[in-house]
Chains A and B, each alone.
Chain A
Amino acid sequence: MRAAVGNGATLAQKILARASGRAAVAVGEVVVAEPDVFELIDLVMPQYLKTLASHGISRLRYPERCVVFADHEVPSQSVRVAALKKQLRRQMQDYGITRVYGEGRHGISHQAIVEYGHVVPGMLVLSADTHATTLGCVGALAPPINYETIQALATGDIWLKVPQTLRVTLTGRLRPHVMSRDLAQRVIADLGPQLCDYRVIEYAGPALAGLDMDARMTLCNVAVEAGAKAALVEPDEITDAYLRPRTRIPYELLRSDPDAAFHRRVDIDLDGVEPMVAAPPRPDNLVAVSALAGTRVDQVYIGSCAGGRLEDLRAAAGVVRGRQVHGDVTMLVVPTTQQTYAAAAREGLLQVFAEAGAVVAAPSCGPCYGNLAPLADGDVCIGTGTTNIPGRMGSARADIYLSNAAVAAASAVAGAICAPDALGGEPR
C-alpha cells in the first residue's frame, strides 16, 4: 500500500462539493449536502412519515426526488405489515411521493433503483437502508443514513463528513469458478475495518473491463460490511452501455482527478483470488473452502443485495443442474429483483432450481432480514446473504457462512460445505 498526495479532487469530493453548492471541499470537513435522490423502502416509510406528521411536518422538501421500493417483506407475511403497507399508499399520496415500485415491479432497492435508471454517475443518493453503497456501481455516492432519512426528507439535506478515499486498482482476471463475491470478500478482509471505516473505497484499474454491472454491484455492496462510508466504481464504457437504455437523466462519466489525494492506493491482482468462505461471526473472517469441507448444512440461501443477481443464479443453477438438493437441506433461491427473476425465467434457471428441489421465492430481502425462512437454534446456513452476524437470519444460535453462489449450491447438493469441483460424479 502506498499513500499518495495530490491537489486534485477525488470523485467523492467532486460529488459532495456539487451537492453542497461549493466549488471544492476538503477531506475531513463537515458539509451540509442536498442529495439528488432519496432511496426509500416500504417497510420503514410508514413509521418515517408518521413521525414527520407527529411533529406537524406536512410536506417534504423534495418529494420528487424520492424513489420507493417494496423489498424487505414481499409479499406481506403478517397482518401487521399488510396494514402498514395499506396505510403507506395514502401516506405517500399525502406527501406527494409518486415514484413507487410496489409488489411485482419491485426488488431490493439497491439493485432495482439502478436497473430502473434512477441513478447515474456523479449523483449523491441518500438511503434509508444499509447496503446503499451498492449504488457506487455506476459511480454514484450513496452513504447509508438509515433513520436520519426522516430528517433529510423534511429538510432536503444532511450533514456529511467529506471522506478520505482508498483507491483500489484491480488488475488481472478472475479465474474460472471465482466470482465477484470472492473478490469483494477478499478486498474487505485485506483492507480491514480499521482502514475502511468512514472512508470511500474507489475501484479502478484495467480489470474493471472484465467486471460487469452485477460484479460491480457486489463489490460496492460488500464494502459496507467493512465499515466503508460508500464505495465507487470509476465509471467507464461498461457503465455507459448499461445506463444508456435505462435512463433519460443526462450524465457524464465523472472520475477522480489523476492527482487526487487518496488516503492509500492498494493494488489487487484478480488472478490471485480464490473462493473463500466467511465463517461466523464476521463477514471478514475468511477461511478456505477446503478447511470447512464437511461442515453439515441445514439451509442454503442464494439471494440478497449481495448475491441474488443473474451472475449468482447462473452459477448456482450451473452446479445443481441435473443434480438434487440433499434431502436434509432447504435450498432457497430469491432473485434480487423482479427484473432478475424475469431474466432467470427466460434463461430456464428457475426450472433448473425447481427440478433440483430448491425453493424459489419472490424477490425480497427475506432470509437476509430474518423474516423469511428463519433459522432455528443449531441450524447451519451457507449462502450469499450480506452478513453472518449471529441472529441475522433468525436464531442467534444458528451459524451463518457466506460464500459465492457456486460454493453455496454445491453445499446444498452435498448436505455439507463443499467446493463445486469436489461434488464428484457427473450430474444426473
Chain B
Amino acid sequence: MNWRWQGRAWVFGDDVSNDDGIMPLAMTRQQEYDPAVLARHCFEQIEPGFAAAARPRDIVVAGSGFGHGNPHIQGFLGLKGAGIGLVVESMGRGALRACVNAGVPVLQAADLAGFCRTGDSLEVDFETGRIRNLDTGDSRQAEPMPAAMREIVAAGGGIAHMVQRLARYPRR
C-alpha cells in the first residue's frame, strides 16, 4: 500500500462528535454497514456539501477529540467509503479503534491550528508521519501510524484482516 497521500484538505474544529457529527446516528439505528451508502452521509449535519464534493485521498484535518462519544462504526465506515484519510490533533481510544478497524488511515499531530484551510493541497505520509501543506510549504511531524494498525488498514479494514489471519490459523 502506498502510504503517501496527496489530496485536498477539509478542515474541521475541535470535538467533532461521532454520532450526528461524522455520521447521522440514524444510520446506526438503521444498522447500515455499507461504506458506499454511508459515504453519502458523512458530515451531513455539520458540513452538508462534503459528501458530494469530497474525492478519494482527500484529507480531513480536525482538532482534538475527533469522533468523541459512542464509537459506532458507521461514521468511520462512511469515511472509508469516501476514501478519506485523517489528520487530527487527538482522538480517543474508542474512535481510534473504530477508525483503524474501518480501514481509515489516521495520524495524530499536535498544533494543527492554522496549518491549512479547506481546499489546500496536502501531502500526508501515514508511514513516516510527515505532513506537508503544498500550498503554503508549512509542515508538521506526527507520530507515525504503528505497524500493527497499518497492517489492518492495508488489508482494507478489520474484517479483511481477519480473513487473512484466519487463513494462517490452526483449526481448533
Contact partners of B159 in chain A: CB under 8 A = 51, 55, 150-151
A244 proximal to B (CB < 8 A):
no
Known contacts being A147-B158, A387-B70, A391-B20, is A370 close to B29, with CB within 8 Å? yes
Known contacts being A146-B71, A151-B158, is A396 close to B92, with CB within 8 Å? no
Contact partners of A44 in chain B: CB under 8 A = 31
B161 proximal to A (CB < 8 A):
yes
B166 proximal to A (CB < 8 A):
yes
**Residue in A147, A224, A227, A369 with the greatest tally of chain B CB atoms within 10 Å:** A147
Q: A145–B97 contact, CB under 8 A?
A: yes
The CA-CA distance from A61 to B170 in the complex, in Å, is 11
A193 proximal to B (CB < 8 A):
yes
The CA-CA distance from A44 to B31 in the complex, in Å, is 8
**Min distance, Cβ B16 to any Cβ of chain A, angstroms:** 12
**Min distance, Cβ A224 to any Cβ of chain B, angstroms:** 8
Q: A155–B166 contact, CB under 8 A?
A: yes
Q: Which of B30-68 contact A (CB under 8 A)?
A: 31, 33, 45, 65, 68
Is the interface on chain A under 10, 10 to 19, 20 to 34, or 35 or more residues? Answer: 35 or more
A116 proximal to B (CB < 8 A):
no
The CA-CA distance from A370 to B165 in the complex, in Å, is 37
Tally of contact residues, B, Cβ under 8 A:
34
Q: B172–A148 contact, CB under 8 A?
A: no
Q: B92–A197 contact, CB under 8 A?
A: yes
Known contacts being A30-B148, A130-B70, is A146 close to B98, with CB within 8 Å? yes
Contact partners of A198 in chain B: CB under 8 A = 92-93
Q: Mark A42-82, 1 if CB is under 8 A from B, else 0.
A: 01100100010001010001000000000000000000000
Known contacts being A151-B159, A155-B166, A198-B93, is A146 close to B73, with CB within 8 Å? yes
A167 proximal to B (CB < 8 A):
no
Q: Which of A146-175 contact B (CB under 8 A)?
A: 146-148, 150-151, 154-156, 159
Contact partners of A197 in chain B: CB under 8 A = 90, 92-93
Q: A146–B69 contact, CB under 8 A?
A: no
Q: B162–A154 contact, CB under 8 A?
A: yes
Q: Mark B146-169, 1 if CB is under 8 A from A, else 0.
A: 101000000000110111011001
Candidates B25, B65, B97; contact of A193 at CB < 8 Å: B65
A389 proximal to B (CB < 8 A):
yes
B94 proximal to A (CB < 8 A):
yes
The CA-CA distance from A146 to B69 in the complex, in Å, is 13
B72 proximal to A (CB < 8 A):
yes
Q: A389–B19 contact, CB under 8 A?
A: yes
The CA-CA distance from A2 to B20 in the complex, in Å, is 38
A326 proximal to B (CB < 8 A):
no
**Min distance, Cβ B157 to any Cβ of chain A, angstroms:** 10
Candidates A130, A156, A392; contact of B71 at CB < 8 Å: A130
A144 proximal to B (CB < 8 A):
yes
A371 proximal to B (CB < 8 A):
yes
The CA-CA distance from A151 to B33 in the complex, in Å, is 15
Contact partners of B146 in chain A: CB under 8 A = 30
The CA-CA distance from A227 to B92 in the complex, in Å, is 6
Candidates B25, B97, B102, B162; contact of A370 at CB < 8 Å: B25
Q: Which of B59-103 contact A (CB under 8 A)?
A: 65, 68-73, 90, 92-94, 97-98, 101-102
Q: B169–A155 contact, CB under 8 A?
A: yes
Q: Mark A213-239, 1 if CB is under 8 A from B, else 0.
A: 000000000001001010000000000
Contact partners of B70 in chain A: CB under 8 A = 130, 387, 389
Q: Which residue of A lies closest to B148 (CB)?
A: A30
**Min distance, Cβ A47 to any Cβ of chain B, angstroms:** 6
B17 proximal to A (CB < 8 A):
yes
Contact partners of A156 in chain B: CB under 8 A = 172
Contact partners of A147 in chain B: CB under 8 A = 73, 98, 101-102, 158
Q: B45–A396 contact, CB under 8 A?
A: yes
Q: A227–B73 contact, CB under 8 A?
A: no
Q: A154–B158 contact, CB under 8 A?
A: no
Candidates B90, B94, B102, B158; contact of A144 at CB < 8 Å: B94
Q: Which residue of A lies closest to B70 (CB)?
A: A130
The CA-CA distance from A208 to B110 in the complex, in Å, is 39
Contact partners of A229 in chain B: CB under 8 A = 93
Contact partners of A47 in chain B: CB under 8 A = 31, 33
Contact partners of A391 in chain B: CB under 8 A = 19-20, 25
**Min distance, Cβ A42 to any Cβ of chain B, angstroms:** 12
Known contacts being A387-B69, A392-B25, is A130 close to B94, with CB within 8 Å? yes
Contact partners of B163 in chain A: CB under 8 A = 55, 57
Contact partners of A193 in chain B: CB under 8 A = 65, 68, 92
Q: B158–A148 contact, CB under 8 A?
A: yes
Contact partners of B166 in chain A: CB under 8 A = 57, 154-155
CB<8 Å pairs between A and B, sample of 10:
A130-B71, A151-B158, A154-B162, A155-B162, A155-B169, A389-B20, A389-B70, A391-B20, A396-B20, A396-B45
Which 8 A-B residue pairings sit nearest by Cβ, starting from the closest? A151-B162, A147-B73, A391-B20, A227-B92, A198-B93, A389-B69, A130-B70, A396-B20
The residues of B with any CB-CB pair to A shorter than 8 Å are: 17, 19-20, 25, 29, 31, 33, 45, 65, 68-73, 90, 92-94, 97-98, 101-102, 146, 148, 158-159, 161-163, 165-166, 169, 172
Beyond the given pairs A151-B159, A151-B162, A396-B45, 8 more chain A to chain B contacts, judged by CB atoms under 8 angstroms and listed by A's residue number, are: A130-B71, A130-B94, A224-B94, A227-B92, A229-B93, A391-B20, A391-B25, A396-B20
